[in-house]
Amino acid sequence: MKLFWFETFKTFSRWRTYISFTVIGLIVILTEVVMKLSANEIVYRMLRSFQKDFLVTGNILNAWFVTAFIMNSLHIHIPFLITLVAGDMVSSEATSGTIRFLLIRPPSRSRIIMAKYLTALFYTALLVIFFALVCVSLGLLLFGSGDLIIHHYGKFDIAFIPESEIPLRILFAFVAAIWSMSVVASIAFLFSTLAENSIGPIIGTMAVVIVFLVLGNLPLDFFRTLKPYLFTTYMINLWQQFLNIPIPWPEIWRSAIILGLHNAGLFLIALFVFKRKDIKS
Amino acid sequence: MKKILFCLPLLLLLLPQGIKAQEDAFRYLDPIEKKYADLKDYTADVMVHFDIETFKAPDMQAKLYYKTPDKMKVESKRVFFFPREGGYFNPSLFKKEDFEIKLLERSTERSAKLVKLKLTPKKAKRGIQDFVLTIDTDSQLIREMGVTQFDGREIKAVIEYGRFDRFELPAHIQLKLDIPSFETEGVKEFDQLIHKPKRITGTIEIRYSNYKVNSGLSDEFFKEPASSKGM
């Protein structure tokens, strides 16, 4: 535990750790202000396929809709911000030449790598929590509350979630988002144990995430069969399931377990690599 | 030439029949128009229940305001979806001068005499291709209304009436929807290009209560605030 707090202190002493929080804050503020200014256009585009058949009234563009809207871009920008720190956890020690000093101290390599991994996960959780707080609080301030309408663009498909159910569902969705993003942190962490500098793990992790996302979204049968084998499928699906009617718990548990197995597997590989790391050369 | 000479008298013989059929059809709409001539406006509580697979929503409640000839407004504290076609009663909708009218059939159902009319708008409005009305000629009420739109949307309303004040107004409307699942306008997604559009079917039940008739609603009341025009 002492090692974990030591690593956490070290991580949060670096200014680059705060880049992510600043970027997230800016993205959310900018998005919500623009959404506020172009509210009518957004509602029109969102409900275009319904306007022909239905007269729609009420506060559709509310804090919960805006939060769900911004969360949809979670799999694009948050992984990059996570890799900035998680991809630097071990490789920065090699870059700055402190890895030898670290490993000749009494704590075992397993304990050191465990503390660093937990710090990476802690940072990931804090980033998503910060994202959630900014999204929801600014959303409530600018747009107010209301029922949540989840609509699949261009299709006659809608899920209407009553206002009373939303806070709990959003809370679950963000917990699921933390769990999803922990896989990105695990990949970046593994790459970090393999590399001697921080650029490689950051670029490597983003390459994996982007390639998997692209493959999983290509509308061709071959890639559709590939989709269940890509972790990104479960990464996106997991939090979104909490905004379905009814909540598909078996699917959620399945996604959570698959992502958990990814985390465990990636950490074990990182542990194996780190334990065998040659620091003499 | 011989063929033309043969067909011409035949056409001349059939033409008055066509005009007569149209006049015949008109006479079923006139009594309805007269019956509701004194209805200037109404207010009612509506409860909407959706039974559509891709439209997962709880029952919704709102207050509906109507003023002749075509002003309508719904007010709800919460998000509210209300069907545009067939969802509310508008006695001024079927003015005979606005339609080409054709009598489709006469029938009797539970001792009520029914006629089925096909109304084709003379001027295209809201993409409507035609209406098919089933009118109870004894009580002068529209029992069923079918709406077909040019983009393939088909809506059928089955209306049950109750007596409110001195008017017979809808107490329950059941809407049967059969519409394309994808947007029929604008840029299409890749999926829409490679797959044939599916159709969405389902029903919407609308219950009306607490009618207030001819309370003198002003035109200004129906004007939308500028900020909500897009909604």
Q: What is the ipTM score, two decimals?
A: 0.76
Closest CA to B176 of B153, B160, B198: B153
Residues of B with CB under 8 A from a CB of A: 54-58, 62, 72, 74-85, 127, 153, 155, 177, 179-183, 185-186, 188-192, 194, 200, 227-231
* CB distance B207 to B46 below 8 Å: yes
> Under the phi-then-psi rule, with left for phi > 0, alpha for psi from -120 to 50, and beta for the rest, what region is B177?
beta
- pTM (2 d.p.): 0.79
Q: How far is A139 from chain B (nearest CA, A)?
A: 17
Spell out which residues of chain B touch residue A58, defining contact as CB-CB under 8 Å: 76-80
* CB distance B208 to B44 below 8 Å: yes
What is residue A150's predicted lDDT score, i.e. its pLDDT? 84
Q: Parallel, antiparallel, or unpaired: how do β-strands B128-136 and B112-121 relate?
A: antiparallel
Angle at B226 between CA B224 and CA B229, to 5 degrees: 65
Q: A2: buried, middle or exposed (CB in 10 Å: 19+, 13-18, 0-12)?
A: exposed
Residue B88's pLDDT band, with cuts at 50, 70 and 90, is: confident
**Is residue A253 within 8 angstroms of chain B, CB to CB?**
no
How many Å is the maximal CA-CA distance in chain B? Answer: 72
Instruction: Determine the distance from the C-alpha atom of residue B141 to the mean position of all C-alpha atoms in its chain, rounded to a whole number.
Output: 13
Spell out which residues of chain A touch residue B189, defining contact as CB-CB under 8 Å: 153-154
Highest mean pLDDT among A47-51, B28-32, B184-188: B28-32
pLDDT > 70: percent of chain B: 80
* CB distance A213 to A75 below 8 Å: yes
Spell out which residues of chain B touch residue A59, defining contact as CB-CB under 8 Å: 79
Pick from A40, A43, A53: which is nearest to B83 by CB? A53
* Both tokens assigned to A7: 């690593």
Place of tokens 């006659």: A156
pLDDT > 50? residue A20 = yes
**Which residues, numbered 34 to 73 in chain A, qualify as contacts with chain B under a Cβ-Cβ cut-off of 8 Å?**
39-41, 43-44, 47-50, 52-60
**Contact flag B183-A58 (C-beta cutoff 8 Å):** no
Q: How far is B51 from chain A (nearest CA, A)?
A: 12
* A275: CB partners within 8 A, 6+ apart: A109, A110, A113
Strand (E) or helix (H) holding A176: helix A166-194
User: Where do the H-state alpha helices sit in chain B?
Assistant: 2-35, 190-194
Over residues A245-262, the pLDDT tens digits come to 889 999 999 999 999 999
pLDDT > 80? residue B229 = no
3-state secondary structure of B122: coil
* CB distance A66 to A135 below 8 Å: yes
What is residue A124's predicted lDDT score, i.e. its pLDDT? 95
- Chain A residue with minimal CA distance to B87? A54
What is residue A123's predicted lDDT score, i.e. its pLDDT? 95
Number of CB pairs < 8 Å for A and B?
104
CB atoms within 10 A of CB A30: 10
What is residue B227's predicted lDDT score, i.e. its pLDDT? 45
pLDDT > 80? residue B16 = no
Over residues A24-41, the pLDDT tens digits come to 999 999 999 999 998 888
Phi and psi dihedrals of A121, rounded to 5?
Answer: -70, -40
**Contact flag A155-B54 (C-beta cutoff 8 Å):** yes
For chain B, the average pLDDT equals 81
How many residues belong to chain A? 281
Residue A120's pLDDT band, with cuts at 50, 70 and 90, is: very high
Q: What DSSP line would sit under A99-146, residue for residue?
A: HHHHHTSSS-HHHHHHHHHHHHHHHHHHHHHHHHHHHHHHHHHHH---
